[in-house]
């Protein structure tokens, strides 16, 4: 982590506290509604130190999104990697989603939320959201190709996952993942010999 290299272990611990508090507050209340002073209070890190670690609120949002991307990538990869058959590997994405949606405080995808709230005024944050979604589609394309599926299957499965994320956030229930998994099962069955 770049923050650890630049500021040492103590700075890395402060940076993690700020990131954790920011991710929680941004998910609960939105990116624009959270002030830097509220982040100071929630993290226990002095405001001056926060600005040394993250020179702007946008830089902090970027850091939260990068952390979320890494967390997402590890989670999806672990779920897919633990599944047996090629079909099960594709369906494991939705099992991961169901677990994620069932966690306390699930408020939707940080990237979808950031794009919706800030995408029009921050092209850089909009680009980060696009890159995250493109990365997921590329990963699904790799898993689908390993299963012998046609290239068109990956974007279809990605759309099911994206729709499930939004629906689960609005409904406050992991049920959307189960519906998306069933739809994915039908698509996979039609695509694979």
Same-domain pairing of 185 and 125 = yes
Same-domain pairing of 15 and 70 = no
Same-domain pairing of 91 and 69 = yes
Domain that includes residue 112, residue range: 63-191
pLDDT of residue 4: 44
Same-domain pairing of 43 and 67 = no
Q: Which residue, 162, 156, 151, 165, is CA-closest to 185?
A: 156
pLDDT of residue 105: 81
Q: Spell out, as residue ranges, where the chain has pLDDT lower than 70.
A: 1-10
Give the separation between CA 168 and CA 177, rounded to whole angstroms. Answer: 8
pLDDT of residue 193: 76
Same-domain pairing of 48 and 70 = no
Which residue pairs, CB below 8 angstroms and at least 24 apart, start in 176-182?
176/97, 176/101, 177/94, 177/95, 177/97, 177/98, 177/100, 177/101, 178/94, 178/98, 180/94, 180/97, 181/91, 181/94, 181/95, 181/97, 181/98
């Amino acid at each position: 982590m770049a923050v650890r290299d630049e500021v040492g272990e103590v700075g890395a611990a402060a940076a993690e506290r700020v990131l954790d508090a920011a991710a929680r507050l941004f998910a609960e209340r939105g990116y624009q509604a959270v002030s830097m002073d509220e982040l100071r209070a929630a993290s226990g890190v002095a405001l001056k130190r926060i600005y040394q670690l993250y020179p702007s609120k946008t830089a902090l949002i970027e850091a939260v999104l990068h952390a979320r991307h890494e967390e997402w990538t590890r989670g999806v990869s672990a779920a897919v990697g633990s599944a047996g058959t090629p079909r099960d590997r594709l369906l494991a994405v939705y099992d991961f989603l169901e677990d994620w949606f069932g966690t306390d405080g699930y408020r939707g995808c940080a990237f979808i939320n950031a794009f919706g709230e800030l995408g029009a005024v921050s092209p850089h944050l909009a680009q980060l959201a696009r890159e995250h979604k493109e990365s997921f589609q590329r990963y699904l394309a790799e898993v689908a190709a390993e299963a012998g599926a046609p290239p068109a299957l990956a974007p279809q499965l990605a759309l099911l996952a994206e729709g499930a994320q939004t629906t689960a956030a609005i409904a406050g229930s992991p049920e959307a993942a189960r519906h998306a998994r069933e739809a994915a099962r039908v698509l996979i069955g039609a695509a694979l010999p």
